[in-house]
A and B are shown apart, each in its own frame.
Chain A
Amino acid sequence: MKKLFAVQVSLLLIISVSFVGMVYYTDIYDVIQGGIVEVLCLSCIKLYPLTSTDFTFETGTGEPHPDFILESLREGPIFLHYSEDACAACDVMFPSVLKFLNVEPKKDKSYYKLTSFNDKPVNYYYIYLDDEATSEEWLHTFEIYDKDHIHGLPMFSVVTINYAHSGIIEPYYTTLYGQLEDNDEQRIEYFGELMEEAFVLYDENLPGFIK
């Protein structure tokens, strides 16, 4: 009886101290909160967002577009690719995007490259949410470009420019979510059509945007 009591108390002490220590000294609380609770787990719900490729001026949070996006738009349209740790659909989409834009990011490191598609410049941003080196400004775009407020991964945004009702040329974007199409070829064709649309708008509006 005494032996069992000693086991119970020891176990409870070890568990309590370890748990408090983990919460206090590591970022596990934030990892679980940001990586599981606040991100919609598409595999848990067995559903994919019904993706619409419609472009919009209005950001997901209502905030203005970040400075680095405005800066990059001077070079060409932007392709934002969001991914995270342990995301099955992200793993499926990753090689397709690499082939599509001829880029070579490491899967777990955020990355930027001015690349091209059909000989036209594209700013490629790979934003890995679990990479501690990713800047806050980059991470925050996950909220800003969450067009349909899905908050799920993988997420892809294409940002170009267009003439807004306000009378000025502004960033114009669309966002896609989840695993798209069935194979690499179909995905590349799908993204390609979207980029072509972005290039048309970009070329039409660039003079007004730079001015």
Chain B
Amino acid sequence: MKFQLKRLWFQILTFFSVNLGALGIKTGFCVPLFYCHACPAASSACPLRAMEKSVYKGHFAFNQLLYPILILGFFGTITGRAVCGWACPIGLLQRATSGPARKLKKYSIVKKIGSYKFEPYLRYTKYFMLIGLVFVSAIFIGFMFTDVCPIGVLTGTIPIIILNPYKFVPSSFFWPAIGIFILFIMLIFLVERGWCRYFCPIGAFLAPFNKISMIHVDVDQEKCVHCNLCSINCPMGIDVPNMQRDPECILCGKCINVCPRDAISYGRF
């Protein structure tokens, strides 16, 4: 329990760190997580925007593409997707909605949403979002992801409207983006970590790093009795006893905490 409290403190600390722009600290780094630089308090850039900008309409800026990739790659190589579970402010938001999402699971219709046969395939959507919406559309059409990004609505649009009530008017993308934002809110209340599981392009970028990351979650098959307590508690819906450096694992450590046989632990290297 103490361990999860530490994780919460770390998430809160990161939330304040990415909002140091409120104190006038605006850096030239990209955050290795999902947070919009359009937020009035944001201190660094969204890596997806830098990637989109680097390939915008076929105009290729190699350094702008490589820069966020190196930042994400650095964290990915060390911790895999731990950034999602330990640092991302949207992860913190989904941590807050995971309680209601678990309670709603007792309704059969909600339970079905997260347990359909095609659910594992739905997880590939985030890779499509990364390649299709962030890169391909930016090359051939223009900015599509940032135009409708629900995180932009949450951290950029809403605070700006509140802080400057009569200074802005909706653009043509405003209402479609609001529609997507409402779906995003519904999703995170219906499916625990629904955004991380299915749609987050940053999660898609970091996921393959789980296969080689220095820190990962290990299951000792000799100790494991397959009680499945770990899987039941896993916010990402992973079959924990059978996982081998699963790309979906966000290293939150909930499985480690609930395992009655201490069969699960963080592995290094």
Whether B167 and A50, one on each chain, are in contact in the complex, defined by CB atoms closer than 8 angstroms, is: yes
A47 on the B face (CB < 8 A): yes
A190 on the B face (CB < 8 A): no
State A150–B149 Cα separation when bound (angstroms): 21
Q: How near does chain B come to A99, taking the closest CB pair, in angstroms?
A: 21
B38 on the A face (CB < 8 A): yes
- Chain A: CB-nearest residue to B160: A45
B53 on the A face (CB < 8 A): yes
Known: A50-B169, A88-B143. A44 touches B38 (CB 8 A): yes
Q: How near does chain B come to A81, taking the closest CB pair, in angstroms?
A: 20
Question: Which residues of chain A in 95-150 are interfacial with respect to chain B, using CB atoms and an 8 Å cutoff?
Answer: 148, 150
Which of B42-50, B113-121, B124-132 contacts its partner?
Answer: B42-50
Question: Mostly helix, strand, loop or mixed at chain A's interface?
Answer: helix
Whether B63 and A47, one on each chain, are in contact in the complex, defined by CB atoms closer than 8 angstroms, is: no
Whether A5 and B269, one on each chain, are in contact in the complex, defined by CB atoms closer than 8 angstroms, is: yes
Interface 1/0s, chain B 126-165, versus A by CB < 8 A? Answer: 0000000000000000110011110011001100110000
Residue numbers in B under 8 Å from A19 (CB-CB): 67, 70-71, 74
Interface 1/0s, chain B 64-96, versus A by CB < 8 A? Answer: 101100110110011000000000000000000
Question: Which residues of chain B in 160-185 are interfacial with respect to chain A, using CB atoms and an 8 Å cutoff?
Answer: 160-161, 166-171, 173-174, 177
Interface size of B as a range = 35 or more
Whether A28 and B169, one on each chain, are in contact in the complex, defined by CB atoms closer than 8 angstroms, is: no
Please tell me the number of chain A residues within 8 Å of chain B, measured between CB atoms: 43
Contact of B28 among A31, A85, A91, A179 (CB under 8 A): A31
Known: A29-B28, A45-B157. A86 touches B59 (CB 8 A): yes
Known: A8-B269, A18-B70, A28-B64. A46 touches B167 (CB 8 A): no
Whether A36 and B50, one on each chain, are in contact in the complex, defined by CB atoms closer than 8 angstroms, is: yes
Q: How near does chain A come to B132, taking the closest CB pair, in angstroms?
A: 18
Residue numbers in A under 8 Å from B53 (CB-CB): 35-36, 85-86
Residue numbers in B under 8 Å from A48 (CB-CB): 168-171
Q: How near does chain A come to B149, taking the closest CB pair, in angstroms?
A: 7
Whether B167 and A37, one on each chain, are in contact in the complex, defined by CB atoms closer than 8 angstroms, is: no
Whether B66 and A44, one on each chain, are in contact in the complex, defined by CB atoms closer than 8 angstroms, is: no
Residue numbers in B under 8 Å from A5 (CB-CB): 269
State A41–B134 Cα separation when bound (angstroms): 16
Known: A30-B28, A32-B28. A11 touches B170 (CB 8 A): no
Question: Which residues of chain A in 24-43 are interfacial with respect to chain B, using CB atoms and an 8 Å cutoff?
Answer: 26, 28-38, 40-43
B212 on the A face (CB < 8 A): yes
A200 on the B face (CB < 8 A): no
State A15–B77 Cα separation when bound (angstroms): 9
Q: How near does chain A come to B245, taking the closest CB pair, in angstroms?
A: 10
A contacts, CB < 8 Å to B = 1, 4-5, 7-8, 11-12, 15-16, 18-19, 22, 26, 28-38, 40-50, 85-86, 88, 91, 148, 150, 178-179
Write 13 A-B pairs (CB below 8 A) sorted by A numbering. A12-B74, A28-B63, A31-B63, A35-B53, A43-B146, A43-B171, A45-B38, A45-B160, A46-B147, A85-B53, A86-B52, A91-B142, A148-B167
